[in-house]
Structure 1
Amino acid sequence: MLWHCETTMSEEHTTLSRRRIGLIAGGGQFPLLFAEGACRAGYTVTAVGFEGETDPALADHVESLHWVKLGQLSRLIKAFRKDGIRRAAMAGSINKTKLYARIRPDWRALKLLRNLHNKKDDSLLRALAAELESEGIRIEPSTLFLPSLLAPEGILTRRKPNARERLDVEFGWELAKAVGHLDIGQCLVVKDQSVLAVEGIDGTDATIRRGGALCAEGAVVVKVCKPIQDIRFDVPVVGPTTIQAMKDVKAKVLAVEAGRTLIFDLEETVAEADRAGITIVARKGGEAPVEPEVTAEPAGKDAGRGSAEKPLPRVFVTCERAPDAVRVGVVGVGYLGFFHAQKYAGLPSANLVGVADINRSRAEEVAKAVQTQAYTSHRELLGRVDAVSIATPTPEHYAIARDFLEAGVHVLVEKPMTPSLAEADDLVALARRKQRVLQVGHLERFNPAFRTVAPHIRHPMFIEAHRLALFNERGIEVNVVLDLMIHDIDIALHLVRSPVVKISASGVPVLTALPDIANVRIEFANRAVANLTASRISVKNLRRIRIFQADCYLVADYGIRRAFMYRKEPDLEESGFPEISAEELEVEERDALEEEIGAFIESVRSGCPPCVDGEQGRNALAVALEISRQIQESIQALWRKSEARP
C-alpha cells in the first residue's frame, strides 16, 4: 500500500523509529481518528486489528494493518517488532461480552491472564501494557494526537440543567467516582438522587437504555474518568451514539469530565443534543455542583448586578443558517445588547448582519465575538436588516425604534419601551400602520420557572412578588420601578387581565437621585390584588412570585429556576381540616433570552402577534409611570415638610 504524509524537511532527517507509532485498534471510529491525527503530526502508523472488532476501513488510514484474533498476544508483538515499533497506543473498544465466548488465548496471553488477581479493565490493560513494555514498546496515551477531542469545560448545549438535574449530577458524580475506585465502570444513570443503572461489561449505551427504561423520562447520565484511571487507555468516550441512546429513553442530561473525556464528532453531538432537548455539561473532576450560567442569560438589567463585565467569548455557532433566515441587527451592544447579538448568532432562523454602538471599540469587539459587521450608527443598518433589537439606554429607545419602524423594519425593544406614554402610544400606532412586529423585552414571560407554573394558573386573586438586586451603576438612568418592578407589573397584568382600578405606591431614593426601593398595591376591577416590591440596594438577589387562587398556591423562583404548587385536596384529614399536597414542579430549563428572541423571529416570519406586543408593553409602562408619579409626589411632600420645619 502506498502511504503518504506531508513532512517538513527537519522531519525527514529524524530517524524512522521516532516517526513510527503502533496502534492496537479496537472497534469504533477512535482508531481511525487516532491514525488521522498521527498522520497530521508526521507519523506513520502500524496497526494491529482484531477480527470481528476493528473497522476494516482502518487499512486506508495506516501504513500497514495486521489482523489477529482476540488473545493472540504473541502475533501482536511480532507484528510490531517486524515494523520496528517502539511506541504504541491503544484506541477503540472491545465487546467485553465476547471475551467470555470467543477468546482463545495463545500461550503468552494465557500466562498473562493466569498471573492476574482479577480481570477488571484496569488490571487487564495495565498487564498488557507491562507485557509490551517488557519488549521495548512504550505505551502512549490514546489522546496523544487528539487533544482537540477532549471535552471543553462548561455547558455545551443550549439547554441547561434544571435544579433537580443539577442535584442529580452532583449525586451521580460522587457515586460514579466511588464506583470507579472499584474499577467497575465509568457510567451511572440516576434520577431524583436514586441510582437506576451502573455500567457493567455491556457498556455505556446499554447502561443508558437499562437505566432509562426504569423511569418514564428525565434520567441523568454521568460518565467520569475513574480515579485510578491510567490515561494511556480506556479514556471515557461519548458521541452521537450516546445521544441516540439517551433519546431512546428520553434521558435529559449527560455529564462528563472536562479535559478527560473524548467527544467524537463534537459539533454533530451537540447539534443532535440540541435537537433532542438534551443537556451536555462537562465539569472538572473535583469542582462544585454545576450551576446555571447566569451571564449567558441575563434576566434584564438586574441579572448581572454586582458582577464586573468579562472579556467577550467568541460565539460557538453549531447550526447552519436557514435559506430564508431573517436579516437582523442589534443596536446598543453594552451588557445586555451583547447577549442579544450572541443569541441571534446561534439561531438558524436569523442572519446577524451587523451590530451598532456609538462606542466604536465596543461595536468592533462584539462584532468580532459574534462574527459580524460593526457600525457606529443605527442608521447604517437601515436597508440591511429586516428586524432589529434595540438595547440602548431607555431615553434613546423612541427615536431609534421610530426610525426602524418607519423604514419597515420589525422591532424588539428592551423594557421599558420608552420614557413616556405618548412616545409608547406613537410607536404602537406606527407599528400597526406599517404592519410590523413591535415586541417589548419583558423577559420574565419566557423564564422557565414562570412558564412551568403558568399552565396551572386559572383565576389568580392575590399576587405577591419580590425583586431584589445588589446595587450596580447599570440602569440608574431610570428609577427602580422602570428598571426592575416593571417586570412584575407586566406579569401581574398578563395574569389578571382585568382593568386596574387603584394604585397605592411608596418608595424612596437611597443611593441615587431616583427611587431605589418601591412597594405598590395594585387593585383590579375583578377584585384581584397584586402586591409588588422592588429594590436595587439589597444585600442579596431575589426574584420570586407567589400566586394565590382558589384551592391552589403557586411559587415561581425566577432566579434559581424552581417552581412549587400547593393544592387543597378534595379529601379531609381525620382532624376535619383540608389535606394540602405539596409538589415541586419539573422546570424544563431553557435560555429565556434565546426563547424571547426566537419568538420574535417566529413572529416576524409567520406574521403572528408577538408574546409581548407593543400594547402590552405600553400598558405595563402606564402602570409603572403612575407608580413613579405617586412615589415622586410623596417624596416631594416629605421634602416640603422637612423644609417647613423651623
Structure 2
Amino acid sequence: MTESKVLRGGVIGAGVFGGYHARQYAKQDGAVLSAVLDPHPERAAKVAVPLGGRAFHDMASFLDAVDVVTIASPATVHAQHALAAIEAGKSIYVEKPLAVSLVDAEKIRAAAAARNLVVACGHQERVVFRAMGLLDVPEQPLRLEALRHGPPSERSQDVSAVLDLMVHDIDLALALTTARPQPARVSAEGGWNDIRAEVGFDDGFTAVFDVSRQAPARERTMRVVFPSGEVEIDFLARTFRNTTPFELNPDFADTPAGRDPLGASVHSFLMAVSGHAPRPVVTADEAIGALQVAVAVEESAKATV
C-alpha cells in the first residue's frame, strides 16, 4: 500500500457492532466506509448510507467494493465470512471470537498467511490494559480473578457465555503472562448463560473466570495478584487500586486510547494493513490462544453436566 492509498472499509453485519465498526471506518484517517453487507438490505442501508457507503446483500459484489473487511456478523458465521474475504484478497478484522471452533480458526490463520494478509481480532480491551500500563509490568502474575456479569440480552445468543463474555477476560489474562495458551488444568461448572472456571497454566499462573448473562445488574471487575502486590480493576467505574511498586496510569480513561479502545484497535489494524505498523492489537495467533482456553472451558463444563 502507498501512503496515499485510502482504504475502502467494508463491514459484514449491520447489527449494533456492525454500526460501531462502520462509524470507525468513516472517521479514521486514511479510510472510508465503502460498503455494508447484511442479509437484510434495509438494515445494511440504514448503517451504510448516512456514512457515505453503499448497502449490499451479495457477498461477491460487496467484496469488489472494499479493500479491507470487518466481520461483525454472528459468531457462528465468522469463519465463513472471514474465509470468503481472505479468498478475495482482503485483510480482515474479526469481532471476537475469531471463530467458534479451533479447526475453523486455524483455517483462517492458514489462509491469511498463505496470502500475506492481516488478521486482527476484536479483543480491544487490550487497548485499555496498554493505556493503564498493565502490559508493561515486569512481573508475571500469580493469579487473576475476573468477574463479568450482565442482565439478559438477545445479543450473541448464538454462542455460550464463554465465547460471548469470558473470552474477553481469557485474552486479557493471556496478555499478562508468558504462559502457553494450552491450559494445564481446567475446572468449570455452569450452563449456557452462567459459568465459572478455574484454569491453571504450566508456569503456575491460575486464572478464575466468572461470567453471567442472567445477572440483575452489570458488574465487571478483575483482581490480578503479582509477587509484589495486587491490582484491582473496576471496568465500569474505570478505576483501579494498585499495591504493586509499579506505576500505572490513573488517568488511563482520559487518554485517546482509553476514551476509544475500539477506535485504537481499528486504527492499529489499518496501520498494519498499510505497512505502517508491524501488527494489529490482537493477532490471529493471540485470538486462537484465547479460543483454545475458551474451548477447554466449554468442554470441562459439559463434562460436569
Q: TM-score, normalised by structure 2?
A: 0.91
Cross-structure match for 2:221: 544
Counterpart contact for 1:416–1:482, Cα < 8 Å: yes
1:616 deviates by 1.1
Give the Cα–Cα distance (whole angstroms) in 1 for the partners of residues 165 and 281 of structure 2: 20
Counterpart contact for 2:124–2:281, Cα < 8 Å: no
Cross-structure match for 1:519: 196
Cross-structure match for 1:361: 42
1:346 deviates by 0.6
**What SS does the corresponding residue of 1:382 show, helix, strand or coil?**
helix
Cross-structure match for 1:349: 30
**What SS does the corresponding residue of 1:599 show, helix, strand or coil?**
helix
Cross-structure match for 1:565: 242
Counterpart contact for 2:129–2:135, Cα < 8 Å: no
Give the Cα–Cα distance (whole angstroms) in 2 for the partners of residues 543 and 371 of structure 1: 36
1:484 deviates by 0.3
1:555 deviates by 2.4
Instruction: List aligned pairs for 1:172-187, cutoff 5 A.
Output: none
Give the Cα–Cα distance (whole angstroms) in 2 for the partners of residues 351 and 593 of structure 1: 16
Counterpart contact for 1:401–1:427, Cα < 8 Å: yes
- Cα–Cα, structure 1 residues 382 and 507, in superposed 2: closer, same or farther, change >3 Å? same
1:626 deviates by 1.4
Give the Cα–Cα distance (whole angstroms) in 2 for the partners of residues 564 and 453 of structure 1: 12
Cross-structure match for 2:63: 382
Residue type of the partner of 1:630? S
Give the Cα–Cα distance (whole angstroms) in 2 for the partners of residues 380 and 583 of structure 1: 47
1:431 and 2:108 equivalent?
no
1:564 deviates by 2.5
1:505 and 2:188 equivalent?
yes
Give the Cα–Cα distance (whole angstroms) in 1 for the partners of residues 82 and 26 of structure 2: 22
1:625 and 2:302 equivalent?
no
Listed one character per residue, the Cα deviations across residues 404-460 of structure 1 (whole Å, up to 9, x for unaligned) are: 111110001111111211111111111111100011111211236864433335211
1:491 and 2:172 equivalent?
yes
Give the Cα–Cα distance (whole angstroms) in 1 for the partners of residues 172 and 154 of structure 2: 25
Give the Cα–Cα distance (whole angstroms) in 1 for the partners of residues 163 and 40 of structure 2: 25
Instruction: List aligned pairs for 1:202-351, cutoff 5 A.
Output: 323-351=4-32
**What SS does the corresponding residue of 2:148 show, helix, strand or coil?**
strand
**What SS does the corresponding residue of 1:439 show, helix, strand or coil?**
strand
Give the Cα–Cα distance (whole angstroms) in 2 for the partners of residues 382 and 586 of structure 1: 41
Give the Cα–Cα distance (whole angstroms) in 2 for the partners of residues 566 and 525 of structure 1: 26
Cross-structure match for 1:594: 263
Question: Greater relative contact order (Cα 8 A, min sep 6): structure 1 or 2?
Answer: 2
Listed one character per residue, the Cα deviations across residues 592-618 of structure 1 (whole Å, up to 9, x for unaligned) are: 111111111011111622221111111
Give the Cα–Cα distance (whole angstroms) in 1 for the partners of residues 245 and 98 of structure 2: 40
Listed one character per residue, the Cα deviations across residues 344-381 of structure 1 (whole Å, up to 9, x for unaligned) are: 10111212211111111111111122121111133222
Residue type of the partner of 2:228? D
Listed one character per residue, the Cα deviations across residues 58-90 of structure 1 (whole Å, up to 9, x for unaligned) are: xxxxxxxxxxxxxxxxxxxxxxxxxxxxxxxxx
Cross-structure match for 2:121: 440
- Structure 2 alignment gaps of length 5 or more: none
1:608 and 2:278 equivalent?
yes
Give the Cα–Cα distance (whole angstroms) in 1 for the partners of residues 167 and 262 of structure 2: 17
Give the Cα–Cα distance (whole angstroms) in 2 for the partners of residues 632 and 466 of structure 1: 21
Give the Cα–Cα distance (whole angstroms) in 2 for the partners of residues 610 and 368 of structure 1: 28
Residue identity (%): 29
- Structure 1 alignment gaps of length 5 or more: 1-321, 509-514, 570-581, 636-646
Give the Cα–Cα distance (whole angstroms) in 2 for the partners of residues 630 and 541 of structure 1: 26
Listed one character per residue, the Cα deviations across residues 515-562 of structure 1 (whole Å, up to 9, x for unaligned) are: 111111111111111111111111111222211112121123322222
Counterpart contact for 1:330–1:356, Cα < 8 Å: yes
Give the Cα–Cα distance (whole angstroms) in 1 for the partners of residues 295 and 248 of structure 2: 38
Give the Cα–Cα distance (whole angstroms) in 2 for the partners of residues 480 and 345 of structure 1: 31
Residue type of the partner of 2:297? I
Residue type of the partner of 2:272? S
Residue type of the partner of 1:456? V
Listed one character per residue, the Cα deviations across residues 156-186 of structure 1 (whole Å, up to 9, x for unaligned) are: xxxxxxxxxxxxxxxxxxxxxxxxxxxxxxx
Residue type of the partner of 1:556? I
Residue type of the partner of 1:530? A
1:584 deviates by 7.7
- Cα–Cα, structure 1 residues 595 and 584, in superposed 2: closer, same or farther, change >3 Å? closer
Give the Cα–Cα distance (whole angstroms) in 1 for the partners of residues 200 and 116 of structure 2: 34
Q: Which entry has the higher C-alpha Rg, 1 or 2? A: 1
Counterpart contact for 2:12–2:37, Cα < 8 Å: yes
Give the Cα–Cα distance (whole angstroms) in 2 for the partners of residues 503 and 625 of structure 1: 10
Residue type of the partner of 1:349? G
Residue type of the partner of 1:626? A
- Cα–Cα, structure 1 residues 356 and 527, in superposed 2: closer, same or farther, change >3 Å? same
Counterpart contact for 1:546–1:554, Cα < 8 Å: yes
Counterpart contact for 1:450–1:556, Cα < 8 Å: no
Cross-structure match for 1:120: none
1:370 and 2:51 equivalent?
yes
Counterpart contact for 2:152–2:215, Cα < 8 Å: yes
1:583 deviates by 8.4
Give the Cα–Cα distance (whole angstroms) in 1 for the partners of residues 233 and 215 of structure 2: 20
**What SS does the corresponding residue of 2:66 show, helix, strand or coil?**
coil
Give the Cα–Cα distance (whole angstroms) in 1 for the partners of residues 235 and 112 of structure 2: 31
Counterpart contact for 1:544–1:557, Cα < 8 Å: yes
Cross-structure match for 2:96: 415
- Cα–Cα, structure 1 residues 519 and 457, in superposed 2: closer, same or farther, change >3 Å? farther
Listed one character per residue, the Cα deviations across residues 474-521 of structure 1 (whole Å, up to 9, x for unaligned) are: 11111110110000111111211212211111113xxxxxx1111111
Q: Let me know the Cα RMSD of the aligned residues.
A: 2.0
